[in-house]
Amino acid sequence: MRVNNGRLWGKFSNDEFEVRSLTETDLEEALEVLDKSFFLYESVSIACEINLPQNGQARSELRELCRITADDGVSLVAKHVKSGKIVGVSFNKIQYIPPNGEDPFFVQFRKERTKSPQAQSLMDFMIDVDSETDVFELYKIDTLLELMFLATLPEWGRRGVASELARYTIQLARELSEGVGVDEVHPQLRDKRPKAVTAIFTSIFSQKAGRSQNFKVINSVPYTRFTFNGKTFDQTINPLHKTSEHVVFLL
């Protein structure tokens, strides 16, 4: 991850917005986007009560997850060109089959870095959905890029921000699969070549963004299956959002 001057991937909406690689300089502002949007309004964050003011520890633990993820060097931000304000983020993680029976990244983070039941519940959801359909086994691949957290500031919604972040995440992954741009990636990951992009889209809005970029749904999971604090997820999530979708884009 560069200190500043992240790579420009492209502009959209009559050049009103641009997508750039996340830099160290922009990391704190990118994390604030999660505080102001993802942790408040994303379906599973609501179901796991991460949105409640008293659960700051959970939000802090998930911010740390994103800090570690950002160090991979493959996360993106969408900026309003005129103001320079970050209006959307895509925290992306290079995932690979762990060596020697080690735990996958999410499992390891959940065990070692989370203490709050809210963050643990969200991590359990991600781990369960990822493992229910093993993309590595299904497509006989050893590396993928996971679009982990996708968020847009509410006041900038319905402007195509999420779709464009997904679009350029695919482009970034495709270049890495060909060995292009590896100098931007964490040194320990420069030999990894993703063969697919995956995500868990948890609302009809992120699912629409995924469809716009031709992600394929490999598993649809109803919120009635998951519980937290004595309630099934569907009891607290807006009824517009009935399922999460585990999706893949093969490169």
- Sorted by where each begins, the domain ranges of the chain are 8-250
For residue 233, the model assigns a pLDDT of 98
Q: Is pLDDT of 22 > 90?
A: yes
Predicted local confidence at residue 97, as pLDDT:
95
129 touches 143 (CB < 8 A): no
Exposed, middle or buried: residue 36 (CB in 10 Å: 0-12, 13-18, 19+)?
A: middle
> And the tokens for 186?
């964490």
Query: DSSP secondary-structure letter at 44?
Result: H
User: Helix 56-70 and helix 117-132: axis angle, to 10°?
Assistant: 50
123: which residues sit within 8 A by CB, 6+ positions away? 106, 109, 110, 114
Q: What is the pLDDT of residue 100?
A: 87
By percentage, how much of the chain surpasses pLDDT 70? 100
Give residue 2's pLDDT: 87
What the block records as the tokens of 33 is 């986007």
Q: Residue written as tokens 């039941």?
A: 117
pLDDT for 5 beyond 90: no
From the number of C-beta atoms within 10 Å of its C-beta (0-12, 13-18, 19+), residue 71 rates as middle
Which DSSP state fits 84? Answer: -
Q: Are 109 and 127 in contact (CB under 8 A)?
A: no
Computed over every residue of the chain, the mean pLDDT equals: 97
Give the rounded distance of the alpha carbon of 242 from its chain centre.
Answer: 20
Instruction: For residue 42, give the DSSP letter.
Output: S
What radius of gyration, in Å, describes the C-alpha atoms of the chain?
Answer: 17
- Residue at token pair 């983070």: 109
- DSSP 3-state percent helix, strand, coil across the chain (nearest 5): 45, 25, 30
pLDDT digits (tens, 9 = 90+) for 96-122: 999 988 999 999 999 999 999 999 999
User: pLDDT confidence of 59, banded at 50, 70, 90?
Assistant: very high
DSSP letter, residue 223 = G
CA distance 190 to 110: 25
> Which tens digits make up the pLDDT trace of 174-223?
999 999 999 999 999 999 999 999 999 999 999 999 999 999 999 999 99
pLDDT in tens, 33-58: 999 999 999 999 999 999 999 999 99
Q: Residue 66 class from Cβ within 10 Å (0-12 exposed, 13-18 middle, 19+ buried)?
A: buried
Pairing of strands 143-152, 86-96: antiparallel
**pTM (2 decimals)?**
0.97
The CATH classification number of 8-250 equals 3.40.630.30
Quick check: 106 and 62 in contact, CB under 8 A? no
pLDDT of residue 117: 98
